Chains A and B, each alone.
Chain A
Amino acid sequence: MSILIKGGYIVDPENKLEGVYDILIDDGEIKKIEKDIDSEKCELIDGKGKYIFPGLVDMHCHLREPGREDEETLLSGSLSGIKGGFTTLCCMPNTKPPIDNQGIVEYIYNENKKIGLMDIFPVGAITKNLEGKELTEIGELKKAGVVAISDDGNCVMDSEVMRRAMEYSKMFDLLVISHCEDKNLSRGGLMNEGYLSSLLGLKGIPRQAEIVMVARDIELAKLTEAKLHIAHVSTKETVELIRQAKKRGIKVTAETCPHYFSLTEERILGYNTNCKVNPPLRTPEDIEAIKEGLRDGTIDVIATDHAPHADFEKDVEFEQASFGMIGLETALGIALKELIKTKIISLSQLVEKMSLNPAKILGLDKGSINIGKPADLIIVDLDKSWEVKREKIVSKSKNTPFLNWTLPGVIEYVFAKGKLVLNKN
């Protein structure tokens, strides 16, 4: 069966393609990308006035399987991702049990094969049980298919352990993703430290908890020449450290998340637990610096850090509430609203940060629209907008701070691995 997408505006930075083209898909494979392809015997998708991006790639999400299937599963995560335009997900290892051995990696691949909606690549743990003490069998994990290693949720506090992890992973050309948080400085902390934490009587997390660890890891990357990726950048000082490190030629890449360029700590007023996240929401100055970092290329990637939590873990005292927010379904909308409508970055840059760059950093064959490859793309109407409603959330968890926000960009079609997995019409 052939599908012809007629007259859509393609944004494909990898192939330096931007403009109105038709795309012919045959048996799930892209056959032609040309102007005015003959539409005979094809099922037609009208792309007029719409934008076509490569499928989005999220290099940082928590899918909770195995262990907390009440919050999310590989299936519900896939569906939530598709709704948000993602066709590739990388799931973090803090599952129960954690992804610290070959068996769990295989479990995820096998389960996802049964679902078959999209590629889900596991990120393996750096240390056994994410304890920061003993290295996992990194070579074995790599063989089983992890695309990076990280103790995300935890920071590897022992600098010697982190050094050896980076040094060792180099021989597999494996990316090390660092959740940068000095746990001595952040201990017991609930939100960004400052006037508002003092006003609310909530223990603060000083921004330095992130900054000092980013500085450490950059130096360790220099020492080991390993590939380092800084997860969820939240402070202006971190942006500057990464900018300088890149200038010095250190192999470091970085991501931020939509909430770090759209929400400030003020959102916590009233003890809003949906805004409790780690690293914590910061200040307007940080948002400005992160936007600048996205603009000038210091920050390579927008990831979601999708962190589903059950109601009973969020609808509690602020101190008891879990850290994290879901993000797969709102990431593109928030990025369009905060970065595109405000003309901070171009659409091509947006596609780089949400699709091409994460694919490149992880070494995945994704993030572009190529002839001869399975169709992996999304069709978005940027003139339409939609409202975030609790009952419309596909994720099993509903912990979003963006309820009732109106977001630009309605995703009308999603092709993942050659299959049409979402069709709004």
Chain B
Amino acid sequence: MLNWKHKDLLGLEELSKEEIELILETADSFKEISLRPIKKVPTLRGKTVVLFFFEPSTRTRTSFELAAKRLSADTVSISATTSSIVKGETLKDTAKNIEAMKVDIIVMRHSSSGAPHLLAKAVEASVINAGDGCHEHPTQALLDMFTIKEKKGRISGLKVSIIGDIAHSRVARSNIWGLTKLGAEVTVCGPPTLIPQGIEKFPVKVTYDVEEAIRDADVLNILRIQLERQKSNLFPSLREYALNFGIDAEKLKFAKPEVLIMHPGPINRGVEISPEVADGPYSVILEQVTNGLAVRMAVLYLVSQGGK
């Protein structure tokens, strides 16, 4: 089997198909641990994992923390706000301080695209990107892919539609890279104001017509809509967004019978997804959360082996 060679996991764009498959296979073997009565293995005993979150995210932070603990690593959580910049300490200063405490892995969430890349260059510890600005959120895409593979048995040849704010979504970007490398066909759908410039150079189809995105899709990945986007006139109102792009039972009539409904959470019920769809029979939203743990255990394990 292929070995993991990287110190860090910063995004899926730079990974090969084989490397992504390796993460998913590793996650598969870790998933079993979560089903045991004693959910702990000694894999990362003696290692320290720092959870460095510049943006609030209970969900992702908890998932990483549990994943690290199940691998017997010590964890430290640091929540920082960008206000420390105002106090005169730069991200690099903070990173060097953390490094001086001899940690092994830093899991980072940051509102600025590229912040984990800056960190990764500055420290010897492994850096895992837990979401950077509008850039990438690799573990979210990996857990989405893991869930699809588990449910559908494959990724290659499937049609996946990502619906919502593509322009500002790191989840969308990581999914586009991961899914297309593994042979899926990806369609992105949203109002033109939420489709990024230069989309024609991404390996995706684009539609503004939600019915078209739903029809023929094996998977619908529905993105959370950020309320502040309305203020910058990217769409007129949440109501209008929900009318045009909110996925409800009515719109699902166009869907394939075995369609998977995914959402990276947290959900705005009644905006991008209606409650009956979120909680309905096709929804795998909670399984995504469960699988997130296995995927993050796999990533923690692999980067701890990487570059050695």
Stretch at the interface among A87-95, A144-152, A223-231, A309-317: A309-317
User: With a CB–CB cut-off of 8 A, which chain A residues contact B198?
Assistant: 193-199
Cα–Cα distance between A9 and B107 once the two chains are bound (Å): 61
Set of chain B residues within 8 Å of A195, measured between Cβ atoms: 197-198, 200-202
Q: Are A316 and B90 interface neighbours, CB within 8 A?
A: yes
Asked if A318 meets B114 with Cβ closer than 8 Å, knowing A201-B132, A201-B133, the reply is yes
B90 to chain A, nearest CB (A): 5
Q: What's the minimum C-beta distance from B156 to chain A, rounded to whole angstroms?
A: 24
* Alpha-carbon separation in the docked complex, A196 to B118 (Å): 18
| B199: Cβ under 8 A from any A Cβ | yes
Is A202 at the interface (CB under 8 A from chain B)? yes
B165 at the interface (CB under 8 A from A): no
A316 CB contact (under 8 Å) in B92, B133, B201: B92
Question: Given the interface contacts A198-B167, A200-B113, A201-B170, does A317 sit within 8 Å of B197 by beta carbon?
Answer: no
Nearest CB in chain B: distance from A205 CB, A: 11
Question: B102-134: contact bitstring with A at CB < 8 Å (1 yes, 0 no)?
Answer: 000000001111110110000000000000111
Q: How far is the CB of A276 from chain B (nearest CB, A)?
A: 11
Residues of B within 8 A of A198 (CB): 167, 196-199, 202
B196 touches A317 (CB 8 A): no
Q: Cβ of A405 < 8 Å from any Cβ of B?
A: no
- Give chain B residues whose Cβ lies under 8 Å from the Cβ of A317: 91, 110, 112, 114-115, 118
A-chain residues with CB within 8 Å of residue B170 when the two chains form the complex: 201
From B82, B134, B200, B202, give the contact of A201 (CB < 8 A).
Answer: B134
Nearest neighbor of A194 in chain B, beta-carbon distance: B198
> Does chain A have a CB within 8 A of B70?
no
- Counting chain A CB atoms within 10 Å of each CB, the highest count among B82, B167, B198, B201 belongs to B198
B197 A194 Cβ-Cβ under 8 A: yes
- Give Cα distance in the complex from A312 to B85, angstroms: 10
**What's the least CB distance linking B193 to chain A, in Å?**
13
Closest-by-CB residue of B relative to A319 is B112
Closest B residue by C-beta to A272 = B114
Q: How far, in angstroms, from A206 to B198 measured CA to CA in the complex?
A: 12
Shortest CB-to-CB span from A23 to chain B, Å, is: 50
A406 at the interface (CB under 8 A from B): no
- Nearest A residue to B113 by beta-carbon distance? A201
- Across-interface contacts of A201 in B (CB, < 8 A): 113-114, 132-136, 170, 173
A197–B197 touching, CB < 8 Å: yes
- Which residues of A from 306 to 330 have beta carbons under 8 Å from B? 312, 315-320
Query: For B276, what are the chain A residues with a Cβ–Cβ distance below 8 Å?
Result: none
Given contacts A201-B135, A201-B170, contact A318 B197 (CB under 8 A): no
Q: In the complex, are the beta carbons of A319 and B85 less than 8 A apart?
A: no
Q: How large is the interface on A (under 10, 10 to 19, 20 to 34, 35 or more residues)?
A: 20 to 34
Residues in A neighbouring B82, C-beta threshold 8 A: 320
Would you call A202 and B113 a contact (CB within 8 A)? yes
Q: State the CA gap A368–B114 with chains docked (Å).
A: 48
A270 close to B (CB within 8 Å)? yes
Is A319 touching B90 in the complex (CB atoms < 8 A)? no
Q: Mark A199-236, 1 if CB is under 8 A from B, else 0.
A: 11111101000000000000000000000000000000
Q: Which residues of B contact A320 (CB under 8 A)?
A: 82, 85, 112
Chain A nearest Cβ from B148, distance in angstroms? 23
Report the nearest A residue to B167, measured CB to CB.
A198
CB contacts under 8 Å to A, within B74-112, are 82, 85, 90-92, 110-112
Q: How far is the CA of A206 from the CA of B91 in the complex (A)?
A: 29
Residues of B within 8 A of A386 (CB): none
Give the contacts of B159-197 with A (CB-CB under 8 A): 167, 170, 173, 196-197
Give the chain A neighbours of B112 by CB distance below 8 A: 317-320
Interface residue? A271 (CB, 8 A): yes
B85 touches A204 (CB 8 A): no
* B234, chain A: closest CB distance, angstroms: 12
Q: Is B287 an interface residue (CB 8 A)?
A: no
Beyond A195-B197, A201-B173, whether A271 also contacts B118 by CB under 8 A is yes
From B90, B113, B167, B199, give the contact of A271 (CB < 8 A).
Answer: B113
B114→A271 contact, CB < 8 A:
yes
Q: Indicate the member of A193, A194, A198, A202 with the most B CB atoms within 10 Å.
A: A198
Chain B neighbourhood of A271, CB < 8 A: 113-114, 117-118
Which residues on the A side are within 8 Å of B115 (C-beta)? 317
Give A283 Cβ to nearest chain B Cβ, in Å: 11
Question: In whole angstroms, what is the CA distance A420 to B201 when docked?
Answer: 55
Q: Which residues of A contact B (CB under 8 A)?
A: 193-204, 206, 270-271, 312, 315-320
Query: What are 7 pairs between A and B in contact, CB < 8 Å?
Result: A197-B196, A199-B198, A200-B113, A201-B173, A203-B134, A318-B114, A319-B111
